[in-house]
Amino acid sequence: MAYELYYWPSIQGRGEFVRLALEASGQVYRDVVRGKDGMAAMTRLMSGRETPPFAPPFLKVDGLLIAQVANILAFLGERHGLEPQDPKGRWFTRQLQLTLADLVVEAHDTHHPVASNLYYEDQLAEAARRSEDFRAERLPKFLGYFETVLVANPDGTAHLVGADLTYADLSLFQVVEGLSYAFPKAIKRMLKQYPNVFALRDSVAALPRIKAYLASERRIPFNEDGIFRHYDALDQ
């Protein structure tokens, strides 16, 4: 019944959304690739015949092998109360998670607009152009959307959906943290425009289990191998 999480061992990356859901709901899990022989185990599962993942992260439990962040979170959300039980709330939570996933792709592509398998240094000019558009157009559009959702929540602005914590809240926290690391100047200019988004970031960080997790060695620091990378040239 203990969860096995498979993800790259030296970055937060997409695995972090799963880690946050496991931590916030108090689950026992093993971050397999950070342990002995973990990389070999991950490679083995990826080339396995049954329900092979296209890419990490994936979660192994009870004979299931589940990949894709939004899918893993829906699975965990159902099981551990991180998703509303009513259909309207459930489908909306899943929609928000998928919208956050879209934002994550765009944040990644600011430093890799040409190809993931090239270095950032091989696509500097393209990255500068893409980042300029991201900061000016996309970031305000996404953050403005989540601000609207918080303000419109009939149960109050403390959560994206309903009156309780969902994985969409946790993921918004993570995205805002990542964006603040990658684009500190741009985010600083936006603090007052999206007050409820940043208030949610702060309240998630203060949740006892999340606070303990963030202070632990289990939380890998942001770095320039992950999705959210800080390059001065991309934050002017």
> Cα angle vertex 66, ends 61, 69, to 5°?
120
In the complex, least distance from residue 91 CB atom to its own copies, rounded to whole angstroms: 5
- Note whether 129 binds its own copies by CB under 8 A: yes
Q: Which is nearer to its own copies, 92 or 222 (CB)?
A: 92
- Alpha helix stretches (DSSP H) within the chain: 15-24, 38-46, 69-80, 87-111, 124-133, 139-152, 167-182, 184-190, 195-205, 208-214
Burial of 214 (0-12, 13-18, 19+ CB in 10 A): middle
Site for its own copies, residues 67 to 106, rule: CB under 8 A: 67-68, 70-71, 74-75, 87-88, 91-92, 94-95, 98-99, 102, 105
- Note whether 235 binds its own copies by CB under 8 A: no
Selected from 1, 26, 117, 192, the binder of its own copies by CB under 8 A is: 117
Tell me the angle at which helices 87-111 and 69-80 cross, rounded to the nearest 10 degrees. Answer: 150
- Note whether 1 binds its own copies by CB under 8 A: no
Question: Mapping DSSP to helix (H, G, I), strand (E, B) and coil, where does residue 169 land?
Answer: helix
- Note whether 113 binds its own copies by CB under 8 A: yes
* Count of residues that bind its own copies according to CB under 8 A: 42
In the complex, least distance from residue 203 CB atom to its own copies, rounded to whole angstroms: 22
The DSSP line for 203-228 is: HHHTSHHHHHHHTSTTSPPP-TTSSS
- Note whether 52 binds its own copies by CB under 8 A: yes
- Note whether 130 binds its own copies by CB under 8 A: yes
**Sheet of 29-31, strand order:** 29-31, 3-6, 58-61, 64-67
- Note whether 206 binds its own copies by CB under 8 A: no
Beta bridge partners of 1: none
Handedness of CA 125, 126, 127, 132 (dihedral sign): positive
- Note whether 54 binds its own copies by CB under 8 A: yes
Site for its own copies, residues 133 to 192, rule: CB under 8 A: 133, 137, 142, 145, 148-149, 152
Tell me the angle at which helices 87-111 and 124-133 cross, rounded to the nearest 10 degrees. Answer: 140
- Note whether 202 binds its own copies by CB under 8 A: no
Which of 98, 51, 47 has its CA nearest to residue 74?
98
Selected from 2, 36, 50, 208, the binder of its own copies by CB under 8 A is: 50
* CB-CB contact of 73 with 18 (8 Å): yes
- Note whether 56 binds its own copies by CB under 8 A: no
Q: Which is nearer to its own copies, 126 or 235 (CB)?
A: 126
Write out the residues near its own copies by the rule CB under 8 A: 49-54, 63-64, 66-68, 70-71, 74-75, 87-88, 91-92, 94-95, 98-99, 102, 105, 109, 113-115, 117-118, 123, 126, 129-130, 133, 137, 142, 145, 148-149, 152
